[in-house]
Amino acid sequence: MKGLAVPMPSDTQTRQLRSRALPREYFGTDGVRGIVGEFVTPELLERLGRASALWSGRGRVFIGRDTRASGEELAAAFARGVASAGGSAVLAGVVPTPAVALLRLDLGIVISASHNPPEYNGVKFFDRNGRKLSDDAEEEIEALLDAPARGGGEIDFVDVAVDSYLQHVLERFGSDLSGLRIAVDCANGAYSTIAPHAFAELGAQVETIGNKPDGNNINVGCGATDLAALQRRVVAGKFDLGIAFDGDGDRMLAVDGTGEAVDGDQIVAVLALHLGVDQVAVTTMTNLGFHRLMEDRGIRVITTDVGDRYVLEALYREGAVLGGEQSGHIICLRDHVTGDGLASALLLCAALEGRTLAEAAAAMERYPQVKRNLPRTGRGPLPESLREQVEAVNSELNGDGRVLVRPSGTEPLVRVLAEAPTTEEAEALCVRIASLVTQELG
């Protein structure tokens, strides 16, 4: 393959997603993910490769990966599975997740565990339109995991994927960044060489950290999951702002010039006002302050389950272009098909319009939130009795705060969030709900 074009979606081929929890053995919130050697193995990846190639029809599969040490072996195993089903696997090496979504064939596959530590890995899936698979599609693929090999397929390699992706993002999302001083944390992941080049190409003065991946340092003490190093660098270097990505590049968070973190809710708020949208899609985790700002500005808010694929579903369904998650999944469907950390960062820089990031983010008052992750045995829905007790607490709060309890889709955890007008109230509320969860689950 000598060149790659960026295909945009065809509505006639769209598979609609549905926000519902289904009992799947391997698929979680976003593809398949787990600890390498325990849950995720080359054998499982080969079976997934064969099953997904059979499911996709023609079986042309574009395969990228992040910088984890296990990635190359797992990508090769997935490609073998595709070939064993008579399909055509195209291995692209290390590329960000949004690049795979843009450059997908019948399927786009990323060998990645996203923001998780290096010992994790997994697979993210995109259909021929660059969209996350539906729950039904995931069940259909799982049903094909034991299908017999047919043979007759092929494995190819391509080395122009990064260039094609970068050209697309710069042309569609770039602006003149001359005079802007930016510190960039690449999480020792897939953006380690791409993102600094992009900002510099647009005229910014760039200093980069987290750009020396060794296979075992992705997301370790750096990136969007740990902003401390970037915050120190921004303050010490007197940068205008800092940008942090996660290991596979689909998340982005920011740091203002004073070192304060700017989360996904605030970023979506800044972009909503800058782009002049009339509706946005966010998740149940989104801060109450965001909802109040959108209400004041007459912008409709669509609330979904946690997970960027549910935000994407809502955007496509409602004909909206902007959405995101507090965790940093920012989605702008203007000239794109999925969330993209680099594209979002470039849009955020353009939205400053001569202001500091702190000034831009101040448009949204952020209510204090306190979160806890509680271990549990296994996965799956929470007991109805626990859900009823949580609903009772929310009714009692009467809009002056809220609690959210949900099972993690990627880890054996229950995630608890409490939100209130003051930090003290939020902390007390979180302790109360965590105690409830512990009593119910043991």
Catalytic position from the list 114, 164, 192, 344:
114
65's enclosing H/E stretch is: strand 60-65
Compute how many other C-beta atoms are within 10 angstroms of the C-beta atom of residue 279. Answer: 18
267: left (phi over 0), alpha (psi -120 to 50) or beta: alpha
Angle between helices 194-201 and 341-352 (to 10 degrees): 30
Please tell me the distance from the alpha carbon of residue 88 to that of residue 105, in angstroms, as a whole number: 10
Contact 112, 97 (CB under 8 A): yes
Contact 252, 332 (CB under 8 A): no
Which residues are registered as beta bridge partners of 361?
none
Compute how many other C-beta atoms are within 10 angstroms of the C-beta atom of residue 374. Answer: 15
- Does 88 participate in catalysis according to the annotation? no
Q: 269 vs 151, 303, 315, 361, 384, CA distance in Å?
A: 50, 14, 16, 8, 34
SS3 127: coil
Please tell me the distance from the alpha carbon of residue 216 to that of residue 206, in angstroms, as a whole number: 25
Which residues are registered as beta bridge partners of 339?
none
Contact 68, 346 (CB under 8 A): no
Contact 367, 419 (CB under 8 A): yes
Encoded amino acid at 190, one letter: A
H-state helical runs in 180-287:
194-201, 228-237, 264-275
Structure tokens of 375?
A: 């271990």
Question: Closest Cα to residue 433, out of 420, 303, 422?
Answer: 420
Structure tokens of 322?
A: 């902007």
Q: 261 vs 229, 231, 363, CA distance in Å?
A: 12, 8, 15
SS3 432: helix
Q: Are strands 27-28 and 31-35 parallel, antiparallel or unpaired?
A: antiparallel
Q: Which residues are the active-site residues? A: 114
